[in-house]
Amino acid sequence: MKVLKSQDILALGFMTFALFVGAGNIIFPPIVGLQSGPHVWMAALGFLITAVGLPVVTVIALAKVGGGMDALSSPIGKIAGGLLAAA
């Protein structure tokens, strides 16, 4: 197992914080709640799935393969992996 330097841990902490608490995650939910009207719980569920669930799955997948996007997308090829990362 690779031991991380304190500088790497700090950078990873800020990256994870920015991933989950970005400006879109602070500004967008109240607007969605106001516009959804009586369907606020469905809007909240959709927001939780897309703004929290998908990033968590991504962090877990990247940790499982032990690398970046290139390691994650290696089974589908370099060009397809680049297109997937850019999408």
What are 44-83's pLDDT values in tens digits? 999 889 888 988 898 888 888 887 777 888 888 888 888 8
With bands split at pLDDT 50, 70 and 90, how would you rate the model's confidence at 1?
low
| pTM, full prediction | 0.65
Average pLDDT over residues 16-31: 82
Contact indicator for 38, 32 with CB cutoff of 8 Å: no
Determine the Cα–Cα distance for residues 64 and 85; give it in Å rounded to an integer.
Answer: 18
Sign, CA dihedral 43-49-55-56, equals positive
82: its two tokens: 């680049």
Q: In the 8-state DSSP scheme, what is residue 4? A: P
Domain boundaries, the chain: 6-86
What pLDDT, in 10s, does the model give residues 32-45?
Answer: 889 999 999 999 99
Q: Tally helices (H) and strands (E) across the chain.
A: 6, 0
Contact indicator for 65, 71 with CB cutoff of 8 Å: yes
